[in-house]
């Protein structure tokens, strides 16, 4: 099964359905499998007293409350329906992360078959129970969590009815952008090994190197933020890929998938033709007369490789020449 690539539009539509559709266009043309948005009721998500994250203070008006910022980024049900239809026309899967219980119901009623749980909800018991009961495919991000919190969340989802084989755990770091020293990509392997489960990576670093590395390490799902333009106003644009970068990431991941191949070591079809040209054979170092004893004085090893293999050197040394050989002739 190929790596499931989620192009994370998030709230980079800035509350505009037209921008959201342009993001769908970009995700579809990049070759991503899905484009993901965020579903929430601002008043149900954030209290009036909630402060912005530090990165949000740097990328938006620092005097603005988190609630006021979030309200401008909310998409209504009509917009969701319009985007789902538009995604179908562009042959790309519509996904959205629900950030409250009502939004889970909305997405379920809209027919979503995959539920993406954001990192911030991994310790939200009612939320996890609500999604677990749906018995849908689940992709759970694990930013800000330790192994025990992941275990607890996984247990809840399974206890409520979600099949373990339908769950993918994504290693993540929620800092936008994530410093390379904090990526800790080896923890992704720990997650997969500890829970014997499909794993992947939700990336907030700048660039695409870590995503490619994650795929090489066995990630089955990659999630990456993208935008139309990094200079746009909004909390996540600066830590997102632009269209050309997203396309490059998808192409690189698909190339790595092919390059990984199988775990059998043997000559590839493309290199078999090189064997004769690159390998060597035992040849006459000098003129040899029938009956001469073959030795290091009259034998050497040269290309091509269509004669006796040098691996039989000890067998040939000391034997008697059965015919005459000219210099460089295969033995």
Task: Give me the pLDDT at residue 194, please.
Answer: 98
Task: Give me the pLDDT at residue 303, please.
Answer: 98
Listed in sequence order, the residues at least 6 apart from 210 whose beta carbon sits closer than 8 Å to its beta carbon are: 180, 183, 185, 201, 203
Q: Give pLDDT tens digits for 1-18.
A: 799 999 999 999 999 999
φ, ψ (nearest 5 deg) of residue 137: -70, 140
φ, ψ (nearest 5 deg) of residue 246: -60, -45
Task: Give me the pLDDT at residue 275, please.
Answer: 96
Question: For residues 228 and 19, is the Cβ–Cβ distance under 8 A?
Answer: yes
Task: Give me the pLDDT at residue 208, please.
Answer: 98
> Boundaries of CATH 3.20.20.70 in the chain?
4-260
Mean pLDDT of 224-230: 97
Q: Give pLDDT tens digits for 38-58.
A: 999 877 777 777 776 676 667
124 has a pLDDT exceeding 80? yes
Q: What is the DSSP letter of 321?
A: P
93 has a pLDDT exceeding 90? yes
> Boundaries of CATH 3.90.1210.10 in the chain?
265-331
**What's the predicted TM-score (pTM) here?**
0.88
Give the model's confidence band at 66: pLDDT under 50 very low, under 70 low, under 90 confident, else very high: confident
Mean pLDDT of 196-212: 98
The topology (CATH level 3) of 265-331 is Type Iii Antifreeze Protein Isoform Hplc 12 (3.90.1210)
Task: Give me the pLDDT at residue 228, please.
Answer: 97
CATH fit for domain 4-260, picks 3.50.50.60, 3.10.450.50, 2.60.120.620, 3.20.20.70 = 3.20.20.70
Rg of the chain over Cα atoms, rounded to whole angstroms, equals 29
Task: Give me the pLDDT at residue 49, please.
Answer: 72
Task: Give me the pLDDT at residue 62, please.
Answer: 66
Task: Give me the pLDDT at residue 236, please.
Answer: 86
Residue 190: both structure tokens together: 């720990």
Q: What is the DSSP letter of 163?
A: -
Mean pLDDT of 148-152: 98
Listed in sequence order, the residues at least 6 apart from 117 whose beta carbon sits closer than 8 Å to its beta carbon are: 97, 127, 128, 131, 138, 139, 140, 141, 153
Task: Give me the pLDDT at residue 45, please.
Answer: 76
Q: What size, in residues, is the chain?
A: 331
């Amino acid at each position: 099964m190929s790596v499931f690539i989620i192009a994370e539009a998030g709230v980079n539509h800035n509350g505009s359905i037209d921008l959201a559709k342009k993001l769908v266009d970009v995700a579809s043309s990049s070759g991503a499998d899905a484009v993901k948005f965020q579903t929430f009721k601002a008043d149900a998500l954030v209290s009036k007293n909630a402060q912005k994250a530090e990165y949000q203070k740097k990328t938006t008006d620092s005097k603005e409350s988190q609630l006021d910022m979030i309200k401008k980024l909310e998409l209504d049900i009509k917009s969701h329906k319009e985007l789902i239809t538009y995604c179908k026309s562009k042959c790309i899967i519509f996904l959205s992360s629900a950030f409250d219980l009502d939004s889970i119901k909305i997405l379920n009623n809209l027919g979503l078959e995959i539920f993406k749980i954001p990192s911030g909800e991994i310790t939200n018991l009612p939320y996890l129970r609500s999604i677990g009961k749906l018995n849908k495919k689940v992709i759970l991000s694990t930013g800000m969590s330790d192994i025990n919190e992941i275990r607890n969340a996984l247990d809840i989802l399974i206890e409520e009815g979600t099949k373990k084989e339908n769950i993918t755990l994504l290693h993540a770091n929620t800092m936008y952008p994530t410093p390379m020293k904090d990526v800790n990509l080896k923890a992704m392997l720990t997650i997969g090994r500890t829970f014997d489960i499909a794993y992947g990576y939700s990336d907030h670093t700048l660039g695409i190197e870590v995503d490619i590395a994650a795929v090489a390490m066995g990630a089955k799902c990659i999630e990456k933020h993208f935008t139309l333009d990094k200079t746009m106003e909004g909390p996540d644009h600066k830590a997102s890929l632009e269209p050309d970068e997203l396309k490059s990431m998808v192409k690189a991941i698909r190339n790595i998938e092919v390059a990984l191949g199988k775990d059998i070591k043997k000559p590839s079809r493309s290199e078999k033709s090189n064997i004769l040209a690159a390998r060597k054979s035992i040849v006459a170092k000098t003129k040899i007369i029938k009956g001469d004893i073959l030795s290091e004085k009259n034998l050497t090893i040269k290309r091509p490789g269509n004669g006796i293999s040098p691996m039989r050197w000890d067998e040939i040394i000391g034997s008697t020449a059965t015919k005459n050989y000219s210099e460089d002739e295969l033995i």
